[in-house]
Structure 1
Amino acid sequence: MSEIAIQLERPRVEMLFSRYQEIIGNDYMGYRNHVYRTITYAMHFLNNAEEYEQIVETAFVYHDIGLWTDHELAYLEPSEAVALADNEQYEWGLDPELLRGAIHWHHKITPYTGPHAKVIEACRKADWIDASKGMVRKGLSKESIAKVEAAFPNHGFHDTLLRLAKDYGGSTLVGGIKVTKGIVKW
């Protein structure tokens, strides 16, 4: 596999985030950098093909957004709904089935083989790499992951997820169970 390409600025991502930065609040930098890391990994798996950039960027900006917009631990469906509504309202012209699928299946444990598998599988693998802090590498080298993490520091993103699980679930344990039941797919 080729060396990972790191793109430090993504105007579309910043434009999409501009509507939600206030809602995300103090968690913004952590979530933003998570989004940049996952986009970087997914685009690497897609050979940085420009044709996939808009859908990958959009899917990742919205993939966890329901945590903040809907205060939901089972956030996949709320995140999908926000993404699909914005796609329609702002007339982006993105394939709604692909946008929904990239969000819906990003926590799938086994490989995704349905419609739009190339993009959805790249997004799934990318999120697993970042969610596991690089313990799950999906074929990427430790060095590549370290480069991406250095370019886009964590800013407490994983701690934010634990805090939200506790805040929304009543305790970290109960929240963790609700998250797992609500977002993990087979």
Structure 2
Amino acid sequence: MDLTVNDGAATGIADILETWAPALGGDYRGYLNHAIRVVQVADLLHLRAGGGEAELPSALPEFVVAAAFHDLGIWSDGTWDYLPPSIERAERWLRDTGDETRIPLVTTMIDDHHKLRAAAGPLSPVELFRKADTVDFTSGTVRFGLSARDYRAVRRAYPSSGFHWKLVKLATAGALRHPLHPAPMVKF
């Protein structure tokens, strides 16, 4: 499945994350590329589920904002229990930019992006975002029907840049600190 990269989505994510570059430090490029990959994979999953090219997720501001903020609490607040601060940062950004109407959808997209079960219908923004993040988090091991070739193309365009290795280190540290609750962001 050929898909042109939506430069507007990539630029929008980069513009939001520029403010957070100091907090992200050496992980900036890896996190930026992860966020862009999530949106690109959402486009591919959307098309695979029968959605039209005129309504691609990458063209929707909700996907750009959710992608930029969804894991940011790891760096902005230095916590492995990062959903609440990530949501708080997204809400504040939407209020500051006068886009309060998008808060319910963006916060649900972030809050449910680690649900283990379907969060909504196959073409819903919440479900597409959840699946797209899962595809990238697992480095394409879980693809929800997306071809390995398509995921590799996205990954080539936006390489990991150490992002996945950083997650391994953070997950290990989280498990050692809180062995009874090593993944507070996961929901059923």
Please, what TM-score do these two structures have when normalized by structure 2? 0.85
| Displaced runs of 4 or more, over 4 A | 175-179
Alignment of 1:1-186 (within 5 A): 2-8=1-7, 10-47=10-47, 48=53, 49=55, 53-113=60-120, 118-166=124-172, 169=174, 173-174=176-177, 178-180=181-183, 182-186=184-188
Q: Per-residue displacement from partner, 1:52-72 (whole Å, max 9, x unpaired)?
A: 521101101000000011111
- SS of 2:124's partner is helix
Identity of aligned residues (%): 28
Q: Does the 8 A contact of 2:87 with 2:111 survive in 1?
A: yes
**Distance between the aligned counterparts of 2:88 and 2:11, measured in 1?**
23
CA distance in 1 between counterparts of 2:120 and 2:11 reads: 31
* Equivalent residues, number: 180
When the two chains are superposed, the root-mean-square deviation of aligned CA atoms in Å is: 2.3
Contact kept? 2:116, 2:187, Cα under 8 Å: yes
Q: Would you say the 8 A contact 2:45–2:128 is kept in 1?
A: yes
Give ranges in structure 1 of 5+ residues lacking alignment.
none
* 1:126/1:23 CA distance change after superposition, 3 Å: same
Task: Tell me: CA distance 1:83–1:70, structure 2 relative to 1, closer, same or farther (3 Å).
Answer: same
Q: When the two structures are superposed, what TM-score results if normalisation uses the length of structure 1?
A: 0.86
Report if the CA contact (8 A) 2:17-2:68 is conserved.
yes
Q: Secondary structure at the match of 2:139?
A: coil
